Amino acid sequence: MFTYQTKIKLHDTDAAGVIFFANQFKIIHDAYESLLEGIGFGFAELIRNKDFFLPIVHAESDYKAPLFVGDVLEVQVKAGRVGQTSFTLGYTLLNAKQEIVGTGRTVHVAVSKATQQKILLPADLRAKLEKLHRQDDKSATR
């Protein structure tokens, strides 16, 4: 499991000081970016040096409890299904008391920059995602 931490900022909230619903996706995406960077596929590297993109083709999010300005948030990212051309990530958002305040899921597809068509996941990326998935499976069975 990969862990990302952040703090809810004023610009993340609505007029009542509660996180604006769409910003949960922003926070999930920040965790996704951090995960990719951690496994050697940061966006700077992808955009400048790779011949593929990893667009999100499906995203869902559930809100379990409100978050307020200044709240510390932990996002746990787990690798779900790793297919031939796509992969799924699951997100659990926890407050400082380690209570679940939200969940999310994103599905990503490998797409050729040149053709804009779906391609096989590059072998090195696939191997790292599968390793993360195996680690998540092991920790879930303990």
> Residue 48: which CATH number?
3.10.129.10
Structure tokens at 24: 């949960």
pTM of the entire predicted model:
0.91
Domain carrying residue 102: 2-140
Q: How many domains does the chain have?
A: 1
Per-residue pLDDT of the chain (142 residues; tens, 9 = 90+): 899 999 999 999 888 888 888 999 999 999 999 999 999 989 898 889 999 999 999 999 999 999 999 999 999 999 999 999 999 999 999 999 999 999 999 999 999 999 999 999 999 999 999 999 988 766 665 5
Cα separation, 24 vs 40, in Å, equals 25
The residues annotated with a catalytic role in the active site are 14
Contact 94, 73 (CB under 8 A): yes
How many CB atoms neighbour CB 11 within 10 A?
Answer: 9
Position 6, amino acid: T
DSSP assigned state of 110? -
